[in-house]
């Protein structure tokens, strides 16, 4: 009640008391009158009036004194009320500042529901340092806004995570927690994210961190680093966690052997990464992968940590960084297989090409087997034909197997309509034509006795074996020198064995239904012997009739010089 109302009520009480006193005096005078003489009555009446006047005067003084005392009491009560309100406000503020942290920590957690969109984060600051400052504001909708400074460590009640930062703010109604400065988000034995700033969306279970972000998978030590990273934690409706890293991040993938020893990290860079359940890593956009001494590039990447299988997709390329034994593998898709944390197989799909110093392989599919980061075997097959080229021999077949020693071809096995074409000895024969060997299958063997460190020498062919419907056409050096046209040796049979000496044909052996021709050029009798050319061009003479089992001479194109046909002595 205000002081003005108190004064009005006091005046009203005093007026009522005065009126009652006057009325009482009048009634008392009437009750005290008797039948007396007029003079006596007049005297008594005068005395009564004087006594009543004195009584009224006393009562008036008393009323005025009571009024003043009442006003004093009202003023004192008002001042006391103000002091009491101020003291109560001061105590309330002090209590709020002293107990706010405990009040927030003791709030009962809201009952979790199965819907991810209704999940709220109730922050628990029990592990925060003593210098933590907190401002807690309760809103009409029973939610609150919390502002924290001086460093804090907390977690969301009911969630297995831990959050720390220099400062933070929580908007409970929006389901957002903003963190600033030295942010660390951690899930024990799973993930730790460090950043300059982060926002945690409590209802979605999503963390967005930016500013020098590093996400470490605690089980293996693998890391993702980049400008910003999004993390989706496990929650109802999301059985596995997901980590998304855009804006050209870098990943260091670490694998551990059976003893727990970590291997050399595999470094991967891409425009965008996604890690699913700490098991599958996906990358998009100009992917570069570096593993020990091998570099791979492609448009996208998929890597399964459980099966240790990596796949490079679109314009994929693998290159060895060992310059002494370099090789490259190109294809639309390349798979990399790892056993015991070591790369031991590389498989290229769709228009694949494998290249090293002494060998080039082209096929629809190429399968390389590695030992100590060096090619040990190569398989070429698939739709179309497989081709292998060496400095001296080109081999073509439906499929091939190439065995290498120190990445030099040692053996080539070609299956299915195999054809081998070789360059004759250029020191003895000057010809643009190539020697040829055909068969259902071909086995070619190369000389690997030279020292592996001697890179100046090329691998030389030693022998070729042809099996099934075999035929061969080789050029034989003329005794007149390398400028003279070479002789031609054509044979066919079920099996043909060709021996080489320093890269040139030494002998040809045929068994099972053997037949063939030996063609030797002869000089033109009408040619001008004084001319600079050693052989004059004339229409060929008619050859002798070949044996019935011999093929027509057009089966292999012959030189346009004059020749005679004869059989080599057996």
Query: What was the pLDDT predicted at 247?
Result: 93
Reduced to 3 states, what is the DSSP secondary structure of residue 143? coil
Secondary structure of 230-286 as H, E, C letters: EEECCECCECCCEEEECCCCEEEECCECCCCCECCCEEEECCEEEEECCCEEEEEEE
Task: Establish how many alpha carbons lie within 13 A of residue 546's alpha carbon, considering only the half-sphere containing its beta carbon.
Answer: 17
Query: What is the rounded distance in angstroms from the CA atom of residue 220 to the CA atom of residue 553?
Result: 69
**Cβ-contact 190, 241 below 8 angstroms:** yes
Regarding beta strands 133-138 and 360-371, do their DSSP bridges make them parallel or antiparallel, or are they unpaired? unpaired
| Spatial CA neighbour of 320 closest among 329, 308, 312, 311 | 329
Query: What is the rounded distance in angstroms from the CA atom of residue 316 to the CA atom of residue 334?
Result: 6
Query: What was the pLDDT predicted at 570?
Result: 35
Torsion angles phi and psi, residue 166, rounded to 5: -70, -40
**Cβ-contact 391, 422 below 8 angstroms:** no
Query: What is the rounded distance in angstroms from the CA atom of residue 382 to the CA atom of residue 106?
Result: 69
Q: Give the CA-trace dihedral at 266, 268, 272, 275, to 10 degrees.
A: 0
Residue labelled with tokens 């071909």: 442
Mean pLDDT, each 10-residue run in order, the chain (570 residues)? 55 56 48 40 42 49 50 48 52 50 46 44 78 88 88 83 91 91 92 95 91 92 94 90 94 78 85 92 93 89 88 92 81 90 88 87 93 86 91 89 85 93 78 87 84 57 90 83 83 88 78 82 63 46 41 33 32
pTM for this entry: 0.65
164 strand-pairing partners: 153, 184
Query: What was the pLDDT predicted at 116?
Result: 39
Query: What was the pLDDT predicted at 100?
Result: 46
| Cα 250 from chain centroid (whole Å) | 8
């Amino acid at each position: 009640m205000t002081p003005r109302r108190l004064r009005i009520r006091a005046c009203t009480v005093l007026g009522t008391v005065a009126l009652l006193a006057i009325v009482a005096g009048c009634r008392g005078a009437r009750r005290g009158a008797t039948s007396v003489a007029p003079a006596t009555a007049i005297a008594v009446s005068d005395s009564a009036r004087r006594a009543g006047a004195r009584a009224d005067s006393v009562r008036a003084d008393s009323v005025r004194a009571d009024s003043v005392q009442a006003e004093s009491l009202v003023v004192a009560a008002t001042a006391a009320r103000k002091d009491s309100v101020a003291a109560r406000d001061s105590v309330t503020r002090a209590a709020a500042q002293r107990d706010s942290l405990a009040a927030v920590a003791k709030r009962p957690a809201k009952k979790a529901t199965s819907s991810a969109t209704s999940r709220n984060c109730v922050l628990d600051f029990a592990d925060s340092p003593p210098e933590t400052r907190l401002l807690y504001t309760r809103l009409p909708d029973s939610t609150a806004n919390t502002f924290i400074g001086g460093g804090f460590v907390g977690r969301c009640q009911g969630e297995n995570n831990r959050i720390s930062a220099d400062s933070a703010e929580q908007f409970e109604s929006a389901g957002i927690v903003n963190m600033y400065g030295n942010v660390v988000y951690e899930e024990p034995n799973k993930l730790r994210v460090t950043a300059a700033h982060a926002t945690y969306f409590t209802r979605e279970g999503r963390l967005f961190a930016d500013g020098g972000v590093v996400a470490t998978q605690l089980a293996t030590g693998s890391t993702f680093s980049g400008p910003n990273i999004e993390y989706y934690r496990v929650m109802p409706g999301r059985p596995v966690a997901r980590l998304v890293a855009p804006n050209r991040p870098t990943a260091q993938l670490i694998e551990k052997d059976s003893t727990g020893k970590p291997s050399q990290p595999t470094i991967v860079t891409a425009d965008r990464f996604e890690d699913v359940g700490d098991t599958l890593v996906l990358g998009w956009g100009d992917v570069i992968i570096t593993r020990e001494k091998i570099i791979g590039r492609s448009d996208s990447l998929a890597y399964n940590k459980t099966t240790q299988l990596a796949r490079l997709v679109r314009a994929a390329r693998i290159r060895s960084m060992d310059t002494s034994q370099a090789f490259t593998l190109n294809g639309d898709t390349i798979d990399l297989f790892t056993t015991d944390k070591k790369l031991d197989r590389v498989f290229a799909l769709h228009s694949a090409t494998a290249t090293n110093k002494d060998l080039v392989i082209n096929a629809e599919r190429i399968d390389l087997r590695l030992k100590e980061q060096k090619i040990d075997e190569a398989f070429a097959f698939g739709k179309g034909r497989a081709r292998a080229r060496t400095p001296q021999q080109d081999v073509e077949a439906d499929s091939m197997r190439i065995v290498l020693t120190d990445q030099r071809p040692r053996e080539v096995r070609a299956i299915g309509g195999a054809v081998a074409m070789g360059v004759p000895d250029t020191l003895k024969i000057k010809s643009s034509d190539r020697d040829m060997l055909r068969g259902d299958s071909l086995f070619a063997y190369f000389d690997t006795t030279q020292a592996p460190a001697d890179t100046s020498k090329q691998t030389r062919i030693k022998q070729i074996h042809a099996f099934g419907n075999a035929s061969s056409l080789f050029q034989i050096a003329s005794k007149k020198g390398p400028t003279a046209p070479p002789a031609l040796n054509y044979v066919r049979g079920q099996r043909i064995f060709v021996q080489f000496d320093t890269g040139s044909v030494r002998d040809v052996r045929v068994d099972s239904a053997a037949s063939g021709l030996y063609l030797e050029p002869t000089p033109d009798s009408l040619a001008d012997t004084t001319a600079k050319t050693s052989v004059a061009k004339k229409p060929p003479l008619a050859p002798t009739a070949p044996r019935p089992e011999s093929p027509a001479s057009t089966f292999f194109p012959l030189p346009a010089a004059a020749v005679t046909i004869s059989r080599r002595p057996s």
